[in-house]
């Protein structure tokens, strides 16, 4: 199945589409595509002859979210690669699984090593990228993909799947920055800043994949507790994270003020 454009995805998430709208995205027969879609991270259901993302009907407390973080040796997926990946599974407020792996890489700049602490010696005995991607995809399954700045992590991993001729990743996804901006006020929304101001993860090692995934998980769970009552399903959550009004940021940094007072 091909990736959906934003307009079609919004319809699948809300009011559904008919078969004529779905057909352009099919590469095989409808029955086969619906059977194969979960292998790409997506489940589609039929209701009253209209097709919907299954997440349209899944209550938040029954949904499984996979909070993901990657470290890379550069920002361009066309010429760079993943060097570490970490992921945390959450359901009904509880962590139910974790995945982490370094990735074999022969080129890591001094800047990236200074940022992450990862060097080529550390990765030389790590599994190759394609194997890690297969393991990650098996761990992710059909869960909702969550990341802090999800556009980067999701698009970079998708590009790596494409590099190895793997099926496109179609998992529903949301950004923990977008959600945080709509659930509480903060001077900044960078992960390191939020961890310090909210005391989310006391033993965090910033720019290490699993540690950042754990910090993001704690942030995500905080945001879920602050949702308005009308947000009940996964798709309502995704829509809320994109369309609800953002909190106004304070003009002064409370962290800086607190430091000055001390």
On the question of pLDDT at 262 being above 70, the answer is: no
Both 51 and 72 in one domain: the answer is no
Both 149 and 74 in one domain: the answer is yes
Within a domain: 250 = no
Full domain range(s) for residue 164:
63-230
Spell out the long-range contacts of 187-192 with Cβ–Cβ below 8 A and sequence spacing 24 or more: 187/249, 187/250, 187/252, 187/253, 187/254, 187/255, 188/249, 188/253, 191/148, 191/215, 191/216, 191/219
Boundary-marking domain end, from 38, 56, 74: 56
With a CB cutoff of 8 Å and minimum separation 6, the contacts of 4 are 12, 25, 170
To 10 degrees, what angle do helices 6-13 and 234-243 make? Answer: 130
On the question of pLDDT at 261 being above 90, the answer is: no
Within a domain: 240 = no
| Calpha distance 11→20 (Å, rounded) | 13
Both 18 and 129 in one domain: the answer is no
Both 14 and 134 in one domain: the answer is no
Report which secondary-structure segment, H or E, holds 200. Answer: none
* Residues 91-110 pLDDT 10s: 999 999 999 999 999 999 99
Which string of b and e fits 65-94 if b means at least 16 CB within 10 Å?
bbbbbbbbbeeebeebbbbbbbbbbbeeee
Within a domain: 253 = no
What band does 255 get if pLDDT is binned at 50, 70 and 90? confident
Within a domain: 225 = yes
Both 95 and 220 in one domain: the answer is yes
What band does 66 get if pLDDT is binned at 50, 70 and 90? very high
Within a domain: 46 = yes
Boundary-marking domain end, from 29, 56, 83: 56
Asked whether the beta carbons of 217 and 67 are under 8 A apart, the reply is yes
Both 126 and 43 in one domain: the answer is no
pTM summary value: 0.95
Strand partners, 69: 86
Chain centre distance of CA 235: 15
Number of domains composing the chain: 2
Phi, psi dihedrals of residue 26, rounded to the nearest 5°: -90, 140
Both 17 and 93 in one domain: the answer is no
Within a domain: 252 = no
| Calpha distance 187→248 (Å, rounded) | 9
Both 70 and 47 in one domain: the answer is no
Residue 259: per-residue pLDDT: 52
Within a domain: 246 = no
Q: Is 214 left (phi over 0), alpha (psi -120 to 50) or beta?
A: alpha
Within a domain: 243 = no
**Percent of the chain clearing pLDDT 90 (strictly above):** 97
Both 118 and 34 in one domain: the answer is no
| Mean pLDDT across 216-240 | 99
Both 67 and 49 in one domain: the answer is no
Both 202 and 157 in one domain: the answer is yes
| Calpha distance 227→211 (Å, rounded) | 25
Residue 166: CB atoms within 10 Å: 15
| Calpha distance 32→250 (Å, rounded) | 52
Both 84 and 45 in one domain: the answer is no
Boundary-marking domain end, from 40, 56, 72: 56
DSSP 8-state code for residue 117? S
């Amino acid at each position: 199945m091909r990736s959906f454009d934003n307009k079609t995805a919004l319809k699948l998430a809300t009011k559904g589409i008919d078969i004529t709208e779905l057909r352009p995205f099919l590469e095989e027969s409808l029955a086969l595509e619906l059977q194969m879609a979960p292998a790409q991270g997506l489940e589609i259901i039929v209701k009253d002859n209209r097709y919907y993302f299954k997440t349209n009907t899944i209550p938040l407390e029954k949904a499984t979210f996979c909070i993901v973080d990657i470290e890379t040796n550069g920002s361009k997926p066309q010429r760079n690669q993943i060097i570490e990946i970490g992921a945390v599974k959450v359901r009904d407020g509880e962590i139910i699984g974790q995945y982490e792996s370094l990735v074999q890489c022969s080129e890591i700049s001094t800047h990236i090593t200074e940022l992450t602490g990862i060097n080529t010696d550390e990765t030389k005995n790590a599994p190759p990228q394609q194997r890690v991607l297969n393991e990650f995809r098996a761990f992710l399954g059909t869960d909702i993909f969550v990341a802090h700045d999800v556009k980067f992590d999701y698009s970079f991993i998708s590009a790596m799947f494409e590099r190895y001729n793997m099926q496109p990743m179609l998992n529903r996804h949301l950004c923990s920055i977008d959600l945080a901006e709509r659930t509480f006020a903060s001077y900044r929304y960078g992960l390191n800043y939020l961890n310090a101001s909210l005391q989310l993860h006391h033993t965090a090692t910033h720019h290490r994949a699993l540690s950042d995934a754990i910090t993001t998980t704690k942030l995500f769970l905080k945001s879920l507790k602050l949702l308005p009552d009308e947000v009940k399903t996964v798709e309502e959550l995704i829509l809320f994270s994109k369309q609800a009004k953002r909190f106004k940021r304070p003009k002064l940094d409370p962290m800086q003020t607190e430091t000055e007072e001390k």
